[in-house]
Chains A and B, each alone.
Chain A
Amino acid sequence: MRKSATVWLPAALLAGWSIGSGTKLFDPLFLPAPWAVAESLFSGLWHGTFLRDWFATVARSLSGFALASVVGIPLGLLVGRIPALSRATQPTIDFFRSIPATALFPLFLFFFGLGDAAKVAIVIYACSLIVLVNTAYGALQVKVTRILSARVMGARQRDVFWKIIIPESAPGIFAGMRIALSLSFVLIVVTEMFIGTNVGLGYQIMNAQMVYRIPDMYAGIALAGFTGYLANVSLLRIEARLLHWVGK
């Protein structure tokens, strides 16, 4: 029942797209038929550069995402657990959080050059703030009674941190990581479009667009969509397994 419900909307979209293309309602120059896109996708994967592009994009996003988590989680825990630090940093964090990372391209190019470093740095910047804010929110939810009861039982600061604060902040940490994972992927694709590279889904999409290989462009977009979807589903699976206790 639930399975069929999740399939229903994509199937309807695909049907609408097929009908629009079959009846020539959609100009193939702007939106080619789904079968033309599928053909491009498969030939791109088999014979073309799609796999290489996909790997490059995924590697960049995952390294940006991982580093953003490494930066964001500890800082978020500190901010969430130390009220003075939270008060002192909140305006600054909110300020930087409101700036679209893509608007800072020139700054990152200036500091990190044209290579992968600039792309990953943008991801770290934008995603670590998201992870930080969500982690801090999670750390703020830790029940005082839980810490108190651990203390009375003889828990040291270190035990309280690892065995109470970390697990209880995990829902916030995961929420941040889930947003950061999809954002890191989107950001990398965008940076690949605009910051010098010759490999990556963003580069491939941009390139196909410039030479009017429109089915190729949509194939790249579809590949990006599938990847983001799968990444989110996998993280949700892990979350459901680790955080089965939340809200119960």
Chain B
Amino acid sequence: MEDGSGPDERGCLLEAKGISKSFGGNSTGSPVVEVVSGFSLRLEPGKLVTMFGPNGCGKTTILNILAGILEPDSGEVIVQSRDPDSLPIGYVFQNHADSLLPWRTVQDNIAFPLEIRRLPLADQDARVHRRMDQFRLTEHAGKYVYELSGGLKQLVAIARATVYDPKLLILDEPFSALDYSLSRMLWIRFREFWANQNVTTIFVSHNIDEAVFLGDRVIVLSACPAKVVADIGVPFGHERSLALLSSTEFFSTRNRVLQAFEEGRRG
């Protein structure tokens, strides 16, 4: 499963064991639909894991369970941290329009998590400016979120989710609403930021290029109910440029992922 070194030596930040979740039934009157079935995952610190699978099933539910927003019906999420209740998580929701604060400027949106941590103002300022700098948002600092394009909004959401240095970063198809060339630009920005930060990350995508380009590991999920079909290591280094997208190594990894995806769809 893992290349060479055993998972125990490498440590593990978070482990999901046999998670299942169904919706509907009982009081709702709708039929019971199992959306996640026996999902397991070990997350080593400092890795970027992408999850790739068919649309409309289970992925967001898995993220919500990992983030502790949802309780699984069975299985468990084990947090390997000194204080498991306070594993700080950064979560970038798929729909930025519903998670950013439209009444605040870019700068104040990014400051929000620091504000609720009651950080001294000078610290808040320094951290916010660093993030804005990293994501090249400084020139938009005083703008309101609604004045920005979709891509920039999503960068604001990522800057906000990382400004308090979470131990785990979760991104739910952050670039899915953007066109291909803009997405590619954001992959570069994000990977650049990530290479610097090295925060353990789960990145859900339904774009195979995105999943392979960004990930250190691609988890391929099946159609409904979501379960792990394949766990494929990505052999590219830390630094990645767009030239990678047309390389043969990229295609061979992409093909392996695609093959697993097709198998998963057939069930």
Whether, in the assembled complex, A164 has its beta carbon less than 8 Å from a beta carbon of chain B, the answer is yes
State how many residues of chain A have any CB contact under 8 Å with chain B: 24
Pairwise interchain contact B144-A146, C-beta atoms closer than 8 A: no
Assess the B144–A143 pair: CB atoms within 8 A. no
A159 to B145, CA, bound (A): 20
Nearest CB of chain A from residue B81's CB, rounded to whole Å: 15
Please tell me which stretch of B96-104, B191-199, B208-216, B226-234 contacts chain A, meaning at least 4 of its Cβ atoms lie within 8 angstroms of it. B96-104
Contact of A145 among B95, B115, B144, B164 (CB under 8 A): B95
Say if the beta carbon of B24 comes within 8 Å of chain A: no
The 8 closest A-B pairs by CB, nearest first: A248-B146, A145-B98, A245-B102, A149-B99, A153-B113, A143-B98, A152-B91, A159-B116
Give 6 A-B contacts (CB < 8 Å), ordered by A residue.
A145-B95, A145-B99, A150-B112, A152-B89, A155-B116, A245-B144
A152-B91, A153-B112, A244-B144 given; 15 more Cβ-contact pairs under 8 Å:
A146-B98, A148-B69, A152-B69, A152-B89, A153-B90, A153-B116, A153-B160, A154-B116, A154-B164, A163-B112, A163-B116, A167-B103, A168-B103, A245-B144, A248-B102
Q: Would B116 and A149 count as touching, CB distance under 8 A?
A: no
| One of A151, A154, A168, A245 near B88 (C-beta < 8 A) | A154
User: If the complex has contacts A152-B89, A153-B90, A154-B88, are A245 and B99 also in contact, measured as CB distance less than 8 A?
Assistant: no
Complex-state Cα separation, A143 to B113, whole angstroms: 18
Q: Give 1 or 0 for each of A167-183: 1 = CB within 8 Å of chain B CB.
A: 11010000000000000
Asked whether any CB of chain A lies closer than 8 Å to the CB of B10, the reply is: no
Cβ B102 vs Cβ A152 within 8 A? no
Inter-chain CA distance A3–B97, complex, in Å, is 34
**Which residues of B sit under 8 angstroms from A156, Cβ to Cβ?**
116
Residues in A with CB closer than 8 Å to B117 are 154
CA distance A150 to B101 in the complex (A): 10
